[in-house]
Structure 1
Amino acid sequence: MADSNNFAKQWFSARQWVPFAFQKKVWAAVKRGESGLLHASTGAGKTYAVWFAALNRFARAAPAKPLTPPKSRKPASAPLTVLWITPMRALAADTARALDAPLAELDIPWNVGLRTGDTSSSERARQGRRLPSALVTTPESLTLLLTRADAKAQMSNLRMLVVDEWHELIGNKRGVQLQLALARLRKWNPQLIVWGISATLGNQAHAQDVLLPQGGGASVQGNVIKDLQVDTLLPPSIERFPWAGHIGLRMLPAVVAEVDSSASCLIFTNTRAQSEIWYQALLEARPDWAGLIALHHGSLARGVRDWVERSLKEGTLKAVVCTSSLDLGVDFLPVERVLQIGSVKGIARLMQRAGRSGHAPGRPSRVTLVPTHSLELVEAAAAKAAVAARLIEPRESPHCPLDVLVQHLVSMALAGGFRPDELLDEVRSTWAYRDLSEAQWRWALAFVHHGGDSLTAYPDYQRVEPDADGVWKVPSARLARRHRMSIGTIVSDASIQLKYWRKGGGGQSLGSVEEGFIARLKPGDGFLFGGRLLELVRVENMVAYVKRTSGKKAAVPRWNGGRMPLSSELAHAVVAQLDAARQGQFTGPEMQAIKPLLEVQQAWSALPGTHTLLAETLKSREGWHLFLYPFAGRQVHLGLASLLAWRISQQQPLTFSIAVNDYGFELLSATAVDWASLLKAGLFDEDHLLEDILASLNAGELALRRFREIARISGLVFGGYPGAQKSTRQVQASSGLFFEVFKQYDANNLLLTQAQEEVLRQELDIQRLEQTLSDMRALTLDVHAIQRATPFAFPLLVERFRESLSSEKLADRIARMVKDLEAAVVKGTK
């Protein structure tokens, strides 16, 4: 073994670099054989800290070459020693390049390989014969490796596992899948060293407990504080009656000027549709930028994304309009600054995106916030304050998802088989399943053995069975092949491939869009994708064939997941800014700019405060309105609005329309409501919360939506083989059929229970809802009877109109309403 820090010293000295203290701590901890968690700012040198720790401990320099080398084959590189887990394919390729860089210079006989969904079949075959010394892979690909019968032999020399961007995995089922894989690797090698790397974690202790459930381990904090510069691009004028849903294009001239003054920048949007629109708008504003600006999002073809990432690294692009596809740690050193279009909704996400600029130790990172409507100026001011205070959102691991467990049982049955008692101990060693009950375990075994109580007659659900020695294995090669193709716990929105139309087939692939979007188009319709105006030619076998067109009115593909809720940390920071404004303090350019709006809000009603809960009541031609502003985020407000509407309707027979946004919600009744008498403490009680929430919502439909994902993960439904994929409608129909069968004939099926729990935990965020109710009871209710919509109420009215009006009619109605409201401001009336 090399001397302590030998390789690190050589590499750093050759570049005249001085290691940071946190890097030395990681090197020392790994030398002692310790696992741990490294938390440090983006671009501070985390990768080198952990990679050189591995090289120092496990690598040896190649022996000196003889003067007359024998005519023999090049000696084989070291066997698989380090697994490097990454959450994204794009990050995997970049990481592999970074890990490979020092090996030749330091004469280390290691090789670095990639194993992701993009890995070619020839490379997979090569790895099947011999894995590289260090393998960069994803949780799904690692699980696939573990399903091989020879997996234990292939991993016999594994000494260290690194989980990069741990904060991106800890809070979802992919992270649970990784926990299970880690449990298997630890069983084979109890001395395995495991390190997590993260830049934005609000609950580091929990993150370390999940990664290292056996306890102990080093916690290394990078004390190099990254200089994060957050500023705001102020709009030319302030709308006193803003409404959500803007793309923000009125800020286009200002954004063009900022891009023009930068050598290289990233322009982040929150949705793929928004990125398409902004990319096209920038090109129309500056045609001379063709070839200098690019588009990057997850639905574009792999080749396009690779070209964009390579061009960014080489510094040949002036700007890239992107989504979360470039959030994570790809190293784009030439990028000077980041622009964020619209509210980023969370502090961790903002810091992550800011870190894409100045991605090197000692270089500042700069992010400029571009508000798409006036109220986002308050969010911008709040975000600046929260970033300065490092108020980062926590990430919590899912608890006992049985669909992932069911998938894991089949995977382990493929990997040479398992004995139930031994595997139970292994599964319980993970944080997610630490309190898995005997009843849940027996149910999971029965489910993979014969499909549970309702599927025993169907051979496809008899996936695992014990042999004569009591080892549970997959009995069928067909079922084994089907399971391997289904491994993966992130179920993406059902997508359809886009290809250029060419007679005879085989046209160039452009990427993918949601099948539901294509289903609304007919041949000849135009739409925008990848910055191109395309025309749909035909749809065949889950492929939409298109051709270039011009002059058509373009639809924009809509991908799910665009409505991110405001995080608790950012919401609290927003209320703090409003509370200061309530007391006449408008600190910073953002709050100064939005002062005219807030003054109207205060004159016509009031501003929310840290100790008050603002409620507004209004009688209009539509009926009796209640506007309530808990500032708890869209998801919680949907649950709260439904809950209050249901509780009120239990006291008197009323029907409500509901509208929600991140700041509050509206209840509207067509019949008279005495809001003053109804808004009392009991309305916000947490008693019987679970029963009331389930009664107040179409919980069955929400549970069915969650069950579709659960059915895919647990192997109940199969998406089809390559070239014969099932359509979204087929998959949904199959999921719905299972849902109804279980409800009728297998009501105790634990996957049904899981679907309901996920609705409460993920769709409605029941814990945050409960906390919000508790917070609301502690606040002083500040009720104002208003004569017309206030600046805070107006966006909620628009949200409701959006559901029933076309975009043209909506725009006309908004224009009329704004004109009337502005006239009232000028007159000085309330």
Structure 2
Amino acid sequence: MSAARSGASRAAPAQDALEARLVEWFASRGWTPFPFQREVWDAVRAGQSGLLHATTGTGKTYAAWLGALLAFASTEKEAAPLTVLWLTPMRALAADTTRALQAPLAELGVNWTVALRTGDTGSSERAAQARRLPSALVTTPESLSLMLTRADARQTLGRVRLVVVDEWHELIGNKRGVQTQLALARLHQWQPELRVWGLSATLGNIEHASDVLLAGVPAAKRVRVQGHAPKALTIDTLLPDHAGRFPWAGHLGLSMLPHVVRELDESSTTLVFLNTRSQAELWYQALLDARPEWAGQIALHHGSLDRATREWVELNLKQGALRAVVCTSSLDLGVDFLPVERVLQVGSPKGVARLLQRAGRSGHAPGRTSRVTVVPTHSLELVESLAARHAVAARRIEARESPDQPLDVLVQHLVTVALGGGFRADELLREVRTTWAYRDLGDDEWQWCLDFVRQGGKTLTAYPDYRRAQPDEEGIWRVPDARLARRHRMSVGTIVSDATMQVRYWSRAGSGGASLGSVEEGFIARLAPGDCFLFSGRLLELVRVQEMTAYVRRASGRKPVVPRWNGGRMPLSTELAETMLDMLEAVAQKRLDPRTTPELPLIEPIVDLQARWSAVPTRHALLAETLHSREGWHLFLYPFAGRSVHLGLGSLLAWRLGQKLPATFSVAVNDYGLELLTPSEIDWGRWLPEVLAEEGHRDLAADVLASLNAGELSLRRFREIARVAGLIFQGYPGEARSARQLQASSSLFYQVFRQHDPDNLLLGQAEREVLMQELDAHRLGATLARLAALPLDLRVLKRPSPFAFPLVVEFLREKLSTEKLADRIARMLAELERAAGPADDAPGDANEVATEVATKVATIARFGMSDHAGSAAPRKPRRARKPSKPLPLL
């Protein structure tokens, strides 16, 4: 018998009575508690902390919440205030979680209250919570840190007995997760018996995730619970009529629109996921253009839209009033949308965990099937979809690692704690070292952080704004100035993005109308009054810009542009890339069963032609292709390591070879490979193995930084670090500083530190983050070592191979406008198709195929839609005919 079970057997009669009511409550809904739920209930009652890993939609929330009720609510008529803190990574998820936690209380006879506190919570509600704390509070890491700045933080938060961290996989790998670690360490200091539980569905390294979350919990009180519940999952592919043999990014694109419309017509409620907000705007408009009668039945959801719009979409989605929602990662997490029948993923998800997470938005209940269909936007995404299916079946899910010692987060936390009652330096150091992120924090780094908050380090001692925390005569560090305290509270958090502008309708009276959301300032700065752009599912005309607000009005019939938000390109994960190589080899060797691989007829022509003109990339050799064209001499490599690694690898190889030969290089990359273009011929058979063999004998970090514009990359990263560390203040409400002002300020700090304080630890952190996050240096090093150990398979091409062609297009994108690029691609495709000969999947001859694809490219490039958004009131979607039977998961 486990310790948890033993503790449960000694539960008070009141606990047994409450558990009986819990079982009845489950039964009234046709549910039966799963064994993993009971295991969590028992563990929480026994005073244990842990990590619950279970499939999306199987009841993780009620495993933790009902365990809390059994542990703390069964023996008291009224719970002590603020017994449970529930942390979620997103505001939308927080609101949904609050409703879920409130649902069983009345029927169970538990006299608890549940409240919500996020950045959207109004001042009156915050004041009410301060007067009477709820039994459980649902909040975000940022709001919890803000609560830690209160002078009465210990009195308020010191009574918390359980913290639940929902969707832990979304936090562990970034600075928000580090912020959570520091907050948990503070709560552990005040409440040594604090129980901590993490919930997740898509972790590839559960042991590490558990160690990070539970670093402050004694090993004897840690448990890991793996949920095993019946949950059917179907992953399939929406197949194009024909794919072509020369794939390049986006060449299918909106040509898949009729197929998507047909799928939406056959399903009741569907989520259509896009990887970027720009793509979501385009696809939403395309769907409305294709089916104008769906106006009011389909909606758009992404993080830049106005909160009221997002909440309206979420409510109508819950009520089953929408046929489809075109969305981004804003709906990735565990919001419970029961009516959602299926998910369409337009384009590759780029990762196994992301695909699983999005699949779980459909069939979000025990016993229901989750179904996700990948809609390829180019031919090789057919291989990615096939690979994703196999990777899921093999449970090859990406690992997520916690950042190590981000000092900007620690500096911010020092000021937070100084505000929240103050601290003694030696005591807080011991506390900070209980976190995983700062377990190895040295005395010198700690002293540097103290000096930085006390006087801004070596270079800012003359400026009062950087004397943010000082020790008093008793040795307790406090914030000495009310103005600095106010500024810090307004800047708490680690989410850093470019400055944004509100988008509002322009009224005839000359004042601002309804808010539509926000776009990045840099995008608006490139527009002139009268220019049109797509946003919030509408075609808008810019009227004027005033005080960080872009005023717009409806437009029609003119060619729009689409806002481009940063962070749009996510690299292919290692797990998915490796499985792709396995699938390519299996296709080449005819080892896949056509009956269970419907993508095969569309993939085989690409692979067969690649094998005929060159070779198919595999794990067993490094395929290198050379080609001479009017642009120069090309080298194509296929490491299959993702866009970020290929950028670092291409720059590194060019730099190392440039140390040996007088040559200049141009680099183009995609997720599968890279291209090096030189004006003169290079003997790659000699030099490539030699350059790769240098790995292990060189300082990789130094070489990578030397090969790139490291100063500019570090400066860009430093801007974010400076905001988190409190060097840059973004302004008071209504007086926000522009992006140009913020960039100028951070650049000035960067130059001052480099010149007068070169040992400043924030400069070193900027370089590390460039290496680790932008260039994925760990993966780059592993890729270099792998390539160096492989035999070189060097092929001389007469023309671009199917795998080389998309790299050629990537290079041309940087030189040509979209329209000229489409014309150039059309000519290239015609020549390549003629050289390749007829293909089984082609609808006509080579010229017809090339012209058809290029025409679709030009259509996408010139895309402009009429504005149907909001032209009809929302109405309940009709029930369409039953969808065709999907392909089961391999």
Question: Which TM bucket (shorter chain)?
Answer: over 0.9
Q: Compute the TM-score of the two structures, normalised by the length of structure 1.
A: 0.97
Question: Does the 8 Å contact 1:275/1:295 carry over to 2?
Answer: yes
Superposition deviation, residue 510 in structure 1: 0.5
Question: Does the 8 Å contact 1:514/1:559 carry over to 2?
Answer: yes
SS of aligned partner of 2:382: helix
Q: What's the Cα RMSD here?
A: 1.4
Superposition deviation, residue 495 in structure 1: 1.2
Deviation string, structure 1 residues 683-738 (Cα, Å, up to 9, x no partner): 24232222211111111111001001000000000100000000001001101000
Correspondence for 1:790 among 801, 818, 825:
801
Deviates more, 1:344-353 or 1:126-135: 126-135
Correspondence for 1:33 among 35, 44, 47:
47
Q: Distance in 2 between matches of 1:682 and 1:255?
A: 47
Q: Where does residue 642 of structure 1 map in the other structure?
A: 651
Q: Distance in 1 between matches of 2:432 and 2:256?
A: 52
Q: Where does residue 547 of structure 1 map in the other structure?
A: 553
Deviates more, 1:361-370 or 1:212-221: 212-221
Question: Does the 8 Å contact 2:22/2:108 carry over to 1?
Answer: no
Output aligned runs, 1:758-797, within 5 Å: 758-797=769-808
Q: Where does residue 94 of structure 1 map in the other structure?
A: 96
SS of aligned partner of 1:161: strand
Correspondence for 2:601 among 592, 595, 598:
592
Q: Distance in 2 between matches of 1:156 and 1:658?
A: 55
Deviation string, structure 1 residues 314-336 (Cα, Å, up to 9, x no partner): 00101000000000000000100
Output aligned runs, 1:562-711, within 5 Å: 562-587=568-593, 588-684=597-693, 685-688=695-698, 689-711=700-722
Q: Distance in 1 between matches of 2:218 and 2:190?
A: 18
Q: Distance in 2 between matches of 1:267 and 1:383?
A: 18
Q: Where does residue 210 of structure 2 map in the other structure?
A: 208
Q: Where does residue 851 of structure 2 map in the other structure?
A: none
Q: Distance in 2 between matches of 1:133 and 1:493?
A: 37
Output aligned runs, 1:1-12, within 5 Å: 2-4=14-16, 5-12=19-26
Superposition deviation, residue 377 in structure 1: 0.6
Correspondence for 1:252 among 254, 257, 273:
257
Correspondence for 2:431 among 410, 421, 426:
426
Question: Does the 8 Å contact 1:582/1:608 carry over to 2?
Answer: no
SS of aligned partner of 1:571: helix
Question: Does the 8 Å contact 2:504/2:549 carry over to 1?
Answer: yes
Q: Where does residue 858 of structure 2 map in the other structure?
A: none
Question: Does the 8 Å contact 2:15/2:75 carry over to 1?
Answer: no
Q: What amino acid does structure 2 have at the position aligned with 1:185?
A: L
Question: Does the 8 Å contact 1:78/1:109 carry over to 2?
Answer: no
Question: Does the 8 Å contact 2:269/2:339 carry over to 1?
Answer: yes
Q: Distance in 2 between matches of 1:827 and 1:514?
A: 47
Q: Distance in 1 between matches of 2:683 and 2:628?
A: 11
Deviates more, 1:792-801 or 1:246-255: 246-255
Q: Distance in 1 between matches of 2:46 and 2:591?
A: 54
Distance 1:17 1:734, change over 3 A: same
Q: Distance in 1 between matches of 2:587 and 2:79?
A: 65
Q: What amino acid does structure 2 have at the position aligned with 1:31?
A: R
Is 1:395 aligned to residue 404 of structure 2? no
Question: Does the 8 Å contact 1:622/1:670 carry over to 2?
Answer: yes
Is 1:110 aligned to residue 120 of structure 2? no
Q: Where does residue 507 of structure 1 map in the other structure?
A: 513
Q: Where does residue 713 of structure 1 map in the other structure?
A: 724
Q: Distance in 1 between matches of 2:339 and 2:27?
A: 24
Q: Where does residue 46 of structure 1 map in the other structure?
A: 60
Superposition deviation, residue 589 in structure 1: 1.4
Runs (4+) of structure 1 exceeding 4 A deviation are none
Output aligned runs, 1:248-647, within 5 Å: 248-502=253-507, 503-587=509-593, 588-647=597-656
Q: Distance in 2 between matches of 1:533 and 1:343?
A: 27
Q: Where does residue 857 of structure 2 map in the other structure?
A: none
SS of aligned partner of 1:679: helix
Superposition deviation, residue 584 in structure 1: 3.0
Question: Does the 8 Å contact 1:79/1:133 carry over to 2?
Answer: yes
Q: Distance in 1 between matches of 2:268 and 2:185?
A: 47
Deviation string, structure 1 residues 124-171 (Cα, Å, up to 9, x no partner): 111122221100000000000011000111123211000000000000
Superposition deviation, residue 592 in structure 1: 2.6
Question: Does the 8 Å contact 2:244/2:606 carry over to 1?
Answer: yes
Deviation string, structure 1 residues 3-30 (Cα, Å, up to 9, x no partner): 1434522422433421100001001101
SS of aligned partner of 2:103: helix
Superposition deviation, residue 226 in structure 1: 2.4
Question: Does the 8 Å contact 2:388/2:579 carry over to 1?
Answer: yes
Q: Where does residue 71 of structure 1 map in the other structure?
A: none
Superposition deviation, residue 586 in structure 1: 4.3
Q: Distance in 2 between matches of 1:7 and 1:30?
A: 18
Q: What amino acid does structure 2 have at the position aligned with 1:746?
A: D
Deviation string, structure 1 residues 465-485 (Cα, Å, up to 9, x no partner): 111111110000000000000
Point out which structure has higher relative CO (alpha carbons under 8 A, 6+ apart): 2
Distance 1:276 1:223, change over 3 A: same
Q: Distance in 2 between matches of 1:22 and 1:269?
A: 33
Q: Distance in 1 between matches of 2:678 and 2:218?
A: 55
Q: Where does residue 228 of structure 1 map in the other structure?
A: 233
Q: Distance in 2 between matches of 1:746 and 1:8?
A: 61
Q: Compute the TM-score of the two structures, normalised by the length of structure 2.
A: 0.90
Q: What amino acid does structure 2 have at the position aligned with 1:557?
A: P
Q: Distance in 1 between matches of 2:527 and 2:592?
A: 49
Percent identity, aligned pairs only?
Answer: 66
Distance 1:298 1:653, change over 3 A: same
Q: Where does residue 69 of structure 1 map in the other structure?
A: none
Q: Where does residue 854 of structure 2 map in the other structure?
A: none
Superposition deviation, residue 388 in structure 1: 1.2
SS of aligned partner of 1:431: coil
Superposition deviation, residue 246 in structure 1: 4.4
Deviation string, structure 1 residues 628-656 (Cα, Å, up to 9, x no partner): 00000000000110111011111111000
Deviation string, structure 1 residues 799-823 (Cα, Å, up to 9, x no partner): 1111121111111111111111111
SS of aligned partner of 1:595: helix
SS of aligned partner of 1:366: strand
Output aligned runs, 1:5-154, within 5 Å: 5-60=19-74, 78-154=80-156
Deviation string, structure 1 residues 20-76 (Cα, Å, up to 9, x no partner): 00001001101111000000000001001000000001014886xxxxxxxxxxxx8
SS of aligned partner of 1:507: strand
SS of aligned partner of 1:666: strand
Q: What amino acid does structure 2 have at the position aligned with 1:51?
A: W
Superposition deviation, residue 387 in structure 1: 1.1
Q: What amino acid does structure 2 have at the position aligned with 1:160?
A: L
Q: Distance in 2 between matches of 1:650 and 1:427?
A: 45
Question: Does the 8 Å contact 1:78/1:110 carry over to 2?
Answer: no
Superposition deviation, residue 215 in structure 1: 4.5
